[in-house]
Amino acid sequence: MFSLLTLCLVALLSCAKKADKEEPVDDLIIEPLVGIGPVRFGMSKDEVIKHFGWPDKTYSGEETKLNYVASRGLSFTIHAKLGLQEISCWSEGMLPSGVTTFAGRTKEGIAIGATQEEIVAAYGQPDRTGTGSKGVIHNLDYDKLQTRFSLLEGKLRSMIMKAPK
Mean pLDDT of the chain: 85
Among the listed residues 75, 70, 55, the one whose alpha carbon sits nearest the alpha carbon of residue 162: 75
- Residue 18 confidence (pLDDT): 36
- Residue 62 confidence (pLDDT): 82
Q: What are the residue ranges spanned by the domains of the chain?
A: 26-162
- Residue 66 confidence (pLDDT): 97
Banded pLDDT at 26 (limits 50, 70, 90): low
Q: Is the pLDDT of residue 94 over 70?
A: yes
> Residue 67 — left, alpha, or beta (φ > 0 → left; ψ -120 to 50 → alpha)?
beta
Going by DSSP bridges, is the β-strand pair 57-59/147-152 parallel, antiparallel, or unpaired? Answer: unpaired
Q: Is the pLDDT of residue 7 over 50?
A: no
What is the three-state SS of 6-58?
HHHHHHHHHHHHHHHCCCCCCCCEEECCCEECCEECCCCHHHHHHHHCCCCEE
Average pLDDT, stretch 104-129? Answer: 97
Q: Is the pLDDT of residue 67 over 90?
A: yes
Query: What letter does residue 117 receive in the DSSP assignment?
Result: H
Share of the chain above pLDDT 90, in %: 72
Q: Is the pLDDT of residue 112 over 60?
A: yes
Q: Is the pLDDT of residue 25 over 60?
A: no
Q: Is the pLDDT of residue 96 over 80?
A: no
Sign of the CA dihedral 151, 155, 156, 157? negative
Q: Does domain 26-162 have CATH number 2.60.460?
A: yes
